[in-house]
Chains A and B, each alone.
Chain A
Amino acid sequence: GCFVFKPSPKKRRVSWKTANYFGERNDDSDDTELRFATCQSLWNQIKSETEQIQEDLNKQLFDNLVSFLRQSHSKLQEKTTEWTCQTKTREIPTAALVLGVNVTDHDLTFRSLSEVLQNNITPYIALLEAKDCPGIKNLMQKLMGQLMNCSIDVDSLEDEDYVQVSQSRIRCSMTSLINWYESVTKKKDSETPSKKRTTSSRHLQSPPVVVIFKDMESFTTKVLQDFIVISSQHIRELPLVLIFGIATSPMIIHSLLPHSVSSLLCIELFQSLSCKEHLSTIIDKLLLTAQLPFKLGEKVLQVLINIFLYHDFSVQNFIKGFQLCIVEHFCSQPLSVLCCQLVDVKKRVNSLSHDQCENIRRLPSFRRYVERQVSEKQITLLTEDNFLKEIIQKLLEDLHVYHENYVSVLRCLHVFTSSLPKYPLGKQIRELHCACLENRVWETEEYESSLQLARRLLNKSDLVTMLQQCVEIFVSSSGKEFDKTVEKLKEFLTQFQTLEEAFQERDVSVSSQKELQKKTDLYHLQKTLLELKESRRSKKLTKFEMLRFEVVAYIDSLVRNYLVPADHKTLHEIVYFNTASVLREHLNAAPRIALHTALNNPYCYLKNEALKSDGGSISNKAPDICIAYKLHLECGRLINLVDWLEAFSTVVMSAEGPNADVASSDQVDDIIHARFIRAVSELELLGFIKPSKQKTDHVARLTWGGC
């Protein structure tokens, strides 16, 4: 059933470049090479950034793990010297990592984990996966193979005896493992002092052997038990440390292992970061920066987040979806060549061809822009390419500035709203981002209610502290946001600062008052504090100042910066990717729905007038398989084949009725029979029916509904 086709050696081309496939459909519209290069560089940038983020997030966890390993190992060594606690030495130190249900992301975590361990603790690490170890024998083989490879990698000695070790993988037992370990450690001890220094400075004396079980849940219990029991017997000769990767909850250890086995383990739990936090940092770093020229539209982002939250919780899939967006955007949109850093924009705009300029003129957002101009300018815009190019440059710069302002103001607003009770605008910054992209924020009810809340309920001293905190965040972010074109930020800051000062003054006065009354008793103190509170509340001016200040901040920042992109910014098509349907059908497809519509309503696909029918009734001109399907929908669980055939032939005959001649009815019958057989076997292949043994000549339905 397998056929290999090799290209004939004459025609063999060295390698097709991927870029060649990029723009074959719209051949000469623009420079596909450049577009592809932009796409690739963008993607690479994103990829490296996400990996970096992942590493940073896991750092805490890994540090804990490393210290745990160090500690347990040193303890173990102490114990081996003390003969008194011999019984205790049978315990294996174990770290249980609770990783969460997103299995797809675990690979990366484990890879970086083993790297970290390799650098800090031990060269001997084995990663075991459940699919490689159906039995204890395979497990031991795999373990040995990996450990020996590890040592070869790290030591990179001239290995005369390693070769023979790796070839004799057949007889892998615990004793040979121990022998190997002793030989390795001995070798390390007897090495030249210089070498020893390098190794021992990095690793501990007689480093532990770390065995990582990637997916604890899918191991068979027997294998795990056997392995644990065996290795616990040899723990003194072979310092083992186990790490379990657990997807569900730590209870699984106890349900997988009986008490006698789990008592051999000395378990410590480690919790990994929840995937939601991971996602929010990714969104924070990837989407809410001005650095990346590529942006996601609201609907696309919504789809991606929905897939994440409702289906798989996998950050990896989120990034994959993001990649698909980039590819689609650069592939389908000819103007995406301009989607680059601001530095390159000028060059690229100047090198635009005439066709490209036409493309730009055809953009709906650009049309709107033109309509708003004066008539002479309109004419030059529509006819002269050079003038158009200048305008485009300016517009793109505007877009960039808009993004910068948008991000920082969005963060500011997030600090405000996230401290409100009940979070009317959402708890996470991504929700706020979506809300702002979707519509004009200031027209929504949620925004209105959050304003109400901020104005009325939160008008206490803690709001002020929160404001100060918010300012701090804002200061740090504004420092990074280098070329702020608007000076508004500073304006904000000064406003904030005056507020701060006023508040501090009051603080000073409070403390001085306190000092005066130092000697009074508690009751008095309370009383004066209450009085102070009263007086603070009665200070109408400061309160009013705060309120007004808030309103100013909101209105100022919002009206100017929070415009909906699709609505107000020209040329947003270049930067925003907004076709959510593509994403949905490629990432999250529904084969059953496709089959259902194709069978129920073939008109969707075959555009023939004869197939048009009001839903429910069987059109007798539909393809055979559709007729058979509809007829089978009308039956119960078991279908009689003979009746089915009868019904089928009636329908088909009525379709052919007008033009069928009576003479060849026998032959027609045969043909109909054959078509019926074909249709039925196709339905069987598709999984709608299966042959049933309960009654002769019956088939069983495997789907529900219909009638």
Chain B
Amino acid sequence: QQTLHDLLKKAPLAYAAEIQELNQQHESLFSKWMLQLHLGFNIVLYGLGSKRDLLEKFRTSMLQDSVHLVVNGYFPSITVRSILNSITEEVLDHIGTFRSPLDQLEFIIRRFKEDSSLELYVLIHNLDSQMLRGERSQQILAQLSSLPSIYLIASVDHINAPLMWDQAKLSLYNWLWYETTTFSPYVEETSYENSLLVQQSGSLASSSLTHVLHSLTLNARGIFRLLAQYQLENKDNPSYPGLPFHDFYQQCREAFLVNSDLTLRAQLTEFRDHKLIRTKRGADGVEYLLIPVDDSTLADFLEKEDEDV
């Protein structure tokens, strides 16, 4: 990945002047966008090329004086929960947790309705990214954007992005479409994309976790859940070595997930091939199983699974 970056830096960007000109055209629209945002529309940008720099410029030039929230949708472990959290915690200065995103949303809506002086600009890069394109997250975002004092600017890239929205959501979003073809390369956006050609190292992202697990059988998913839950229960224990294989086998048997030692081992091998788990042999010769993902991602993942079930 790093070498790729270095190499690309050497290659000159073609047609810099023309791209510059295009950008200038788009920048002349900024004040119009502000006007339309204030009149209750939300703005969505489409077109070829990364719209990140454009939005960034919009932010620095127009939004300096107001509270705004930037959401990097291309970030692979982003969830609606984290967007809502940042609104409640940092914008509204509310401390406390909510039982479900719906409750949280209700709270936000109530607060914004009570206090008309609150205004919030939300910029979402890549509204159509892997994590935000789900039906439920779009529903929540749409409801947020329908608030009159929340102004939303988003960009979409995927060719099938408009398929995410049905009539009801479209009316909540109240989009105005703007074509902003920039031709600038998707540097940030593709840096998370797991390309075939570059085997990405580093920790697993939540998105790839869900994708791999979605292609597994029900029992295999159950096995992984057991392991993940156990690991989360012990996350405060710094000397936690992982789950011993034998105990794990017992637990899986009790939950009717496997019927023999061999099937569990086969399943674990598959996990290991996808780098979902790591095995470690302890001092006493027992095999310990670990999920090499940080706890917050794992918790997010489990929560999402619960929602899906």
Contacts and interface: CB of A to CB of B under 8 A. Distances in A.
A381 interface: no
Nearest to B189: A685
B35 A680 contact: no
A678 B185 contact: yes
Nearest to B38: A18
A306 interface: no
A602 B31 contact: no
Nearest to B131: A1
A523 interface: no
Residue of A7, A13, A586 most packed against chain B (CB within 10 A): A586
Interface string A651-694: 00000000000000000001101110110111011111001000
B18 interface: yes
A608 B15 contact: yes
Nearest to B82: A2
B198 interface: yes
B72 interface: yes
A624 B156 CA distance: 21
B36 A684 contact: no
B171 A703 contact: no
Contacts of B4: 674, 677-678
Nearest to B193: A681
Nearest to A323: B39
Interface string B80-102: 00110110001100000000001
A595 interface: yes
Contacts of A83: none
Contacts of A21: 31-32, 34-35, 38
Interface stretch (B175-183, B253-261, B281-289): B175-183
B47 A595 contact: yes
Interface stretch (A72-80, A156-164, A312-320): A312-320
Contacts of B156: 591
A16 B186 contact: no
B11 A671 contact: yes
Contact of A591 (B14, B41, B47, B59): B47
A687 B160 CA distance: 7
A641 B196 CA distance: 10
Contacts, number: 199
A215 B34 CA distance: 34
Interface in B276-296: none
Contact of A5 (B8, B70, B83, B167): B70
B47 A327 contact: no
Nearest to B160: A687
Contact of B183 (A132, A215, A589, A605): A605
A623 interface: yes
B91 to A, nearest CB: 6
A602 B64 contact: no
B239 interface: no
Interface in A282-317: 312, 314, 316-317
A426 to B, nearest CB: 28
B159 A687 contact: yes
B35 A327 contact: yes
Given A11-B65, A24-B31, A607-B18, A585 B177 contact: yes
Contacts of A624: 14
Given A11-B64, A16-B65, A595-B48, A685 B8 contact: no
A3 B35 contact: no
B46 A594 contact: yes
Interface in A196-216: 215
Contacts of A131: 139
Interface in A203-242: 215
Given A132-B102, A641-B197, A685 B186 contact: yes
B172 to A, nearest CB: 9
Given A132-B102, A699-B196, A598 B47 contact: yes
Contacts of A15: 117, 119
B174 interface: yes
A479 B106 CA distance: 51
B196 A697 contact: yes
B65 A314 contact: no
Contacts of A688: 159
A539 interface: no
A587 interface: yes
A327 B35 CA distance: 9
Given A5-B63, A15-B117, A598-B47, A591 B70 contact: no
The CB with the most chain B CB atoms within 10 A, among A327, A591, A595, is that of A591
A599 B159 CA distance: 12
Contacts of A586: 176-178
A379 to B, nearest CB: 38
Given A7-B64, A21-B31, A586-B177, A606 B19 contact: yes
Given A594-B181, A598-B183, A670-B7, A685 B69 contact: no
B38 A685 contact: no
B221 to A, nearest CB: 19
Interface in B149-195: 156-162, 166-168, 170-171, 174, 176-179, 181, 183, 185-186, 189-190, 193, 195
A339 B34 CA distance: 23
A12 interface: yes
Nearest to A327: B39
Contacts of B167: 101-104, 312, 314
B48 A4 contact: no
Contacts of A253: none
A681 B15 contact: no
Contact of A608 (B7, B18, B64, B170): B18
Contacts of B157: 685-687
A598 B69 contact: no
A607 B72 CA distance: 31
A609 B37 CA distance: 37
B286 to A, nearest CB: 35
A103 B158 CA distance: 26
B210 to A, nearest CB: 16
A681 B189 CA distance: 10
A331 interface: yes
Contact of B159 (A595, A621, A673): A595
A132 to B, nearest CB: 7
Interface string A604-620: 01111001000000000
B216 interface: no
A110 interface: no
Interface string A13-25: 1011010011011
Interface in A316-344: 316-317, 320, 323-324, 327, 331
Contacts of A259: none
Most buried by B among A5, A331, A594: A5
A171 interface: no
B83 A685 contact: no
Contact of A687 (B158, B168, B186): B158
Interface of A: 1-7, 11-13, 15-16, 18, 21-22, 24-25, 101-104, 107, 131-132, 215, 312, 314, 316-317, 320, 323-324, 327, 331, 585-589, 591-592, 594-595, 598-599, 602, 605-608, 611, 621, 623-625, 641, 670-671, 673-675, 677-678, 680-682, 684-688, 691, 697, 699, 703
20 contacts: A1-B78, A1-B82, A2-B70, A2-B78, A2-B82, A4-B68, A11-B65, A104-B168, A132-B102, A591-B161, A599-B48, A608-B18, A625-B48, A674-B3, A674-B11, A677-B4, A681-B190, A684-B195, A685-B157, A686-B159
Sort A-B residue pairs by CB-CB distance and give the 4 closest, nearest first.
A589-B177, A1-B75, A1-B78, A104-B171
Interface of B: 3-4, 7-8, 10-11, 14-15, 18-19, 21-22, 28, 31-32, 34-36, 38-39, 41, 46-49, 59, 63-73, 75, 77-78, 82-83, 85-86, 90-91, 102, 117, 119, 139, 156-162, 166-168, 170-171, 174, 176-179, 181, 183, 185-186, 189-190, 193, 195-198
Given A103-B167, A681-B195, 5 more contacts: A3-B69, A16-B66, A586-B176, A594-B48, A608-B18
